[in-house]
A = this chain, B = another copy of it.
Amino acid sequence: MLEKVNMKETVFKEDYKKRIKPLQASLSALDGPMKAAGLPVIILFEGWGSSGKGRVISRLILNFDPRWFTVVNTQPPTPLERREPVMWRHWLTLPEAGQMSIMDRSWYQEVSILRLEEAVDDLTNLRHMNEINNFERNLTDNGYLIIKFFLHITQKEQKARLEKLDSDKNTEWRVTPDDWRRCRQYDKYYSVFDEMLEYTNTPYAPWHVISGMNDEVRTLAVFRTVNDAVHKALKLHAEKAAVPQTASGAIDPGLYHLLTMPKIQNVDLSPTLKKDKYKKHLKKEQARLSELHNIIYRRKVPVIIVYEGWDAAGKGGNIKRVSEALDPCGYEVVPIAAPSWEEKGRHFLWRFWRHLPKDGHIVIFDRSWYGRVMVERIEGFCTPEDWQRAYREINEFERQLHDWGAVIIKFWLQIDPDEQLRRFEARKNDPTKQWKITDEDWRNRKKWPQYETAANDMLQYTSTDFAPWHIIEADDKKFVRVKTLELINQSIVNRLEKDKKHHL
């Protein structure tokens, strides 16, 4: 794409003044409508060193109320950030509804400069670019506006600018040996940039490659592009036409190999475990998990365990038996309830990204991102397009976690309606457990058929070989506790053995 940029464009001073004024006025008036529409906007700047990213950002933000935007200055990832999936740190900076993020460099760091400087291999890089494309589609589908700029300058111009900075005592500290090295290796960077631009130039988040040779040309182009894009998004929003651009109008699990799952209502719930056997097995499996926890800690394998299931299916007691076996410094239990303000204002996956484990750690989710295709679907907290598309978004999410190296274990705790009723009644009648049962539990119980349909869809469309579902017969509490522990141990062992084979 770089070869198509007109690098010789200039603009007369009077002309610039005449054209910039109305753009400034228009941009300044955007914050009210943006806030009212709850439109989150990401404007990101990539480009050559000294191509004027900082300068054009400074000009751009003069048009906005400083309470409504944040400038995100992306640096190479810290050691802590390197212990998480590549996109982790970028998810965390997402603006909330009605807010704007203006990014000085972005997630394209990892597939451009860092790709060269940290010698990322082609396959990994392709995977990262796919993750970026998925990320941007996912954000766009969920109502985000992404405006991407690449500022282009020639090698000669870059050299001249660096020399100028270097020759002034007040600015010389801004030029680093890295800048000079990159300038010398201009051609290498050129081909990496160009490939990145081609591959990530999507209909939902196209690149605007702009000449950075001339200050006025650059400013005009950026102002005009931002102004047009935000106005267009606001118009779509006003017409309620902000339909997902890539929605297929039906359930879409993405292009993944899905495992065949039984219907939950057909699962045989009769298995039980006697008390003496239970004690023996539980102890054995817990001891095994303790050992494995030690190993994954040292091998830096992250483990993500998801519990879903009917109310009163025994998630809490089950999680307790698992966590008993774990070193308290190496795991976290994350209970998921209704989202907070901050969470509601962002993409539905944002709050789960915030709670991912570091490598070598275990996180247990007590309910999870599957709320999107369960409670949100049933209660109408999202649109049909939203939840239909969510199967794919979730598969993409879990695929990313898998590619990062995580073991993903998902449990559906299945009980039958009669057993649930017995447990509800028991809770109601036990003063120390009454707080565990709420009106909402009774209301949800009435929607058993809807939840059953949703659960079956969920199991059908999100059980992949990299993140399989396990349906657990949970009528007998002792049986289910041992079985989940066994499955956790087995999943970790499988993974460790696979690693061993790879190393041979």
Contacts and interface: CB of A to CB of B under 8 A. Distances in A.
A305 to B, nearest CB: 12
Nearest to A340: B341
Interface in A304-348: 316, 319-320, 323-324, 327-329, 332-333, 335, 340-342
Contacts of A65: 316, 320
Contact of A329 (B78, B104, B335): B104
Contacts of A364: 66
Contacts of A62: 324
Interface stretch (A53-61, A107-115, A148-156): A53-61
A432 interface: yes
Nearest to A434: B32
A70 interface: yes
B61 A328 contact: yes
A367 B493 CA distance: 54
A122 B326 CA distance: 40
Given A316-B65, A320-B65, A342-B340, A54 B328 contact: yes
Chain A interface bracket (under 10, 10 to 19, 20 to 34, 35 or more): 35 or more
A67 B435 contact: no
A67 B335 contact: yes
A486 to B, nearest CB: 19
A432 B316 CA distance: 52
Contact of A66 (B67, B319, B342): B319
A340 to B, nearest CB: 4
B435 A328 contact: no
This protein's copies in its complex: 2
A66 B324 CA distance: 9
Contacts of A319: 66-67
A266 to B, nearest CB: 31
A435 B340 contact: no
Nearest to A329: B73
Contacts of A332: 70
Nearest to A36: B435
A385 interface: no
A436 B65 CA distance: 12
A29 interface: yes
Contacts of A432: 29, 32
A49 to B, nearest CB: 15
Interface in A24-63: 29, 32, 35-36, 54, 57-58, 61-62
Contacts of A67: 316, 319, 333, 335, 366
Nearest to A32: B435
A80 interface: yes
Contacts of A333: 66-67
A102 interface: yes
A327 B58 contact: yes
Nearest to A342: B340
Contacts of A435: 32, 35-36
Contacts of A66: 319-320, 323, 333, 364
A458 interface: no
A306 B66 CA distance: 14
A86 interface: no
Contact of A71 (B57, B173, B329): B329
Nearest to A338: B341
A491 to B, nearest CB: 19
Residue from A73, A80, A341 having most chain B Cβ neighbours under 10 A: A341
Contact of A340 (B104, B324, B327, B340): B340
A62 B328 CA distance: 10
12 contacts: A57-B328, A58-B327, A58-B328, A61-B323, A62-B324, A65-B320, A66-B320, A66-B364, A67-B316, A78-B80, A104-B328, A340-B340
Given A36-B435, A61-B328, A66-B333, 14 more contacts: A32-B432, A35-B435, A54-B328, A54-B329, A57-B328, A65-B320, A66-B319, A66-B323, A67-B335, A70-B332, A71-B329, A104-B329, A340-B341, A340-B342
